[in-house]
Amino acid sequence: MDITRDTLKTWTDSLGLDLVGVASLDGYRDVDPQWNPLSILPKAKSVIVFGKSIPRSYFRGIEEGTLWMRVNRYLPPRPAYYLCRIFEDNGFLAVPCSPLAQDRWPDGVVTKEGKPAPNVMPDINLAGQLAGLGEIGYNGTFLTPEFGARQSLGMCFTEAEIEPNTPFQAGQLCDRANCLACVEGCPAAALSADGATRKVGDQTTTVGTYSEEKCTFCVNGAFPDTSCATAPPNKLAAACTRACIACLEDGGKIKTGYKSKFRRREAWGFDTFE
C-alpha cells in the first residue's frame, strides 16, 4: 500500500474532519461511466469519503419549529482541496469532488462518442457505504453509527493505493423491515412505504420513493437545492429525517449520547399544500 489508513486519518484530523473511509474501485465495476470516479480519474485506486459532524442544535430548532438552520448535507470544497494538496505533497495525484445533487446531471453535451457527458457526478452516499462509514437510509439520507444523519460529506479520488475499508452492511442502522419512522414522520405522506431496490457494490438495499411535487414544496424543514431548479430539496432537516434521528437515538444505535431526548413532544407538521 502507498499510504496507510492511519496516515490518512492523521491528515483528515489535521483538517478538522470527524470521519474518513476508503472505498475500493471494485465497488464501481458495475457503475455506469456517467456516475463512475474512473471517468474522472482513470487510474484512480482509492475513493476517499470524509465527513464532519453537524451540531444537534441545528436540528433542534427546526424540531421545535422555532429556528430554521440551513443544514448542509455536503461539505464545502475547501477540505477536499486541502486533502488533495496533501496527497500531491506526498507525490500522488488526487482529484477533489464537490458533490451536487445527482439528479441534476448530466447537464452537459457529449463531446465524443462513447464518453459520458459533463459533468460526471459519483453518488457520495454510495461511496460512503462502500467506504464503510455508514449506510444509505430508507429515505435516502446517509446514516453513520457515530452521528446518525448528522454529518456533512465530501470526497476525493486518488491514484495512491490505500487499504480499503469493508463496505458497511445495510440494515445495521436502518431497520427497513420493522421501522420506517421516516415514512410515518412525513406529514405530507410524500415518502412511500413501497421502496425500490438499488445496488451498493455486492449488496442490494431498499430506498423509498418520493412524490417529487410534495418534496419540492416541503414546508417541514426541507430546503431548496439552489444548485439547480430541477434538483430535489435538501431533506437532511426535513420531518422524515428528524423522525429518523429520534428513532436512532431512542433505539441506542448512535454512539453519541445526550442527557435529553431529541424529540420531546409530539412532532409538528403540515401537508405540503395545506
CA atoms within 13 A on the CB side of 70: 8
DSSP 165: P
Mean pLDDT of the chain: 91
CA distance 149 to 143: 5
Surface-to-core class of residue 161, CB atoms within 10 Å of its CB (0-12 exposed, 13-18 middle, 19+ buried)? middle
CA distance 239 to 268: 9
CA distance 156 to 98: 8
More confident residue, 70 or 168: 168
**What digits encode the pLDDT tens for the residues 203-224?**
999 999 988 888 888 899 988 8
**What digits encode the pLDDT tens for the residues 11-49?**
999 999 999 999 999 989 889 998 899 999 999 999 999
User: Is the pLDDT score of 228 beyond 90?
Assistant: no
